[in-house]
């Protein structure tokens, strides 16, 4: 083949072939840690629609089969050290230990999560207590407009109250039927499935209801204040 003598041409041909594979969805994507994923165009779930009519896979996302540990300053994982303050604009602030969290009504759900770095996990199973349930117990004031999730070492994430009170938003303590593993925020984390995953604070220590918005850790570092994956609200 003539390209033996023309390495530059060979490179062009290889690149064309790669692009053709990518277009038909047979490309492999290399991720850190030796993980490869089939391009999402091969996964039929990428073409599904949600009950709300939105595409199951938000724009620019590819499908991973498991959560990728994204780091952060870990808090104390032991249930015995856990305290969750539910506070701010409410009449009945709460301070729950782990047993008290488990004594509240539990929700088990399967949902999709979407990381701003471009991966999504479809159909992950979570168990926890709805933030809406905690808000009801705390008698949150009508004037509250935002929820601030507070976590170890000062990590915070702000969510509009209507979105934080959606039935899919949990203080989650189980993932795929097991206690959260070390990188994923044990003993309990926030789970806000319909916003980019940075809003889902791991090693959760508090839920604060506020009237005035308070952009959190990533929101004050260039990320979008709202973080809707279907509007590609990645950067502010």
Ligand X SMILES: Nc1nc2c(c(=O)[nH]1)N[C@H]1C(S)=C(S)[C@@H](COP(=O)(O)O)O[C@H]1N2
Positions touching Mo ion (CB under 5 A) are 70, 198
Residue 174 binds which of Mo ion, ligand X, none (CB < 5-8 A, kind-dependent): none
Residue 216 binds which of ligand X, Mo ion, none (CB < 5-8 A, kind-dependent): none
Among 25, 55, 69, 123, binds ligand X (CB under 6 A): 69
| Contact between 68 and ligand X per CB under 6 A | yes
Q: Are 82 and 102 in contact (CB under 8 A)?
A: no
Least distance between ligand X and beta carbon 41 (Å): 23
Measure Cα distances from 44 to 35, 41, 68 in Å. 21, 7, 22
What is residue 20's three-state secondary structure? Answer: helix
Candidate segments 5-13, 41-49, 193-201, 226-234, binder of ligand X by CB under 6 A: 193-201
Q: Are 187 and 117 in contact (CB under 8 A)?
A: no
Pairing, β 170-175 against β 189-191: antiparallel
Q: Give the whole-angstrom CA distance, residue 8 versus residue 182.
A: 48
Residue 69 binds which of ligand X, Mo ion, none (CB < 5-8 A, kind-dependent): ligand X
| Contact between 202 and ligand X per CB under 6 A | yes
Among 79, 93, 183, 236, binds ligand X (CB under 6 A): 183
Look at the alpha carbons of 19, 22, 27, 31 in this order and tell me if their dihedral is positive or negative. positive
Residue 201 binds which of ligand X, Mo ion, none (CB < 5-8 A, kind-dependent): ligand X
| Contact between 131 and ligand X per CB under 6 A | no
| Contact between 229 and ligand X per CB under 6 A | no
Among 155, 208, 209, 219, binds ligand X (CB under 6 A): 155
Q: Give the whole-angstrom CA distance, residue 27 versus residue 33.
A: 18
Residue nearest Mo ion, Cβ-based? 198
Q: Are 28 and 38 in contact (CB under 8 A)?
A: yes
Least distance between ligand X and beta carbon 75 (Å): 7
Look at the alpha carbons of 218, 220, 221, 226 in this order and tell me if their dihedral is positive or negative. positive
Please name which of 5, 225, 217, 218 lies closest in space to residue 117, comparing C-alpha atoms: 218
Candidate segments 2-10, 12-20, 123-131, 199-207, binder of ligand X by CB under 6 A: 199-207
| Contact between 126 and ligand X per CB under 6 A | no
Least distance between Mo ion and beta carbon 123 (Å): 20
Q: What share of the chain is helix, strand, coil (3-state, %, to 5)?
A: 30, 30, 40
Helix (H) / strand (E) containing 101: helix 98-103
Binding residues for ligand X, per CB under 6 A?
A: 67-70, 72, 115, 151-152, 155, 183-184, 197-198, 200-203
């Amino acid at each position: 083949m003539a390209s033996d003598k023309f390495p530059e041409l060979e490179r062009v041909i290889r690149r064309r072939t790669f692009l053709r594979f990518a277009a038909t969805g047979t490309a492999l994507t290399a991720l850190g840690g030796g993980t490869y994923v089939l391009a999402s165009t091969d996964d039929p779930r990428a073409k599904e629609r949600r009950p709300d009519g939105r595409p199951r896979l938000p724009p620019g996302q590819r499908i991973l089969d498991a959560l990728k540990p994204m780091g952060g300053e870990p808090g104390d994982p032991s249930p015995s050290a856990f305290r969750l303050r539910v506070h701010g604009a409410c009449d009945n602030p709460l301070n729950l230990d782990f047993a008290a969290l488990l004594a509240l009504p539990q929700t088990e759900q399967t949902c999709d999560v979407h990381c701003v770095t471009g991966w999504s996990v479809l159909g992950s199973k979570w168990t926890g207590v709805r933030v809406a349930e905690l808000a009801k117990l705390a008698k949150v004031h009508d004037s509250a407009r935002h929820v601030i999730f507070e976590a170890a070492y000062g990590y915070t994430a702000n969510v509009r109250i209507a979105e934080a009170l959606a039935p899919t938003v949990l203080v989650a303590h189980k993932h795929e039927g097991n206690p959260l593993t070390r990188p994923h925020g044990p003993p309990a984390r926030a789970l806000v499935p319909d916003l980019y995953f940075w809003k889902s604070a791991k090693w959760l220590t508090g839920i604060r209801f506020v009237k005035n918005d308070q952009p959190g850790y990533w929101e004050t570092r260039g990320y979008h204040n709202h973080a809707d994956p279907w509007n590609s609200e990645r950067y502010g």
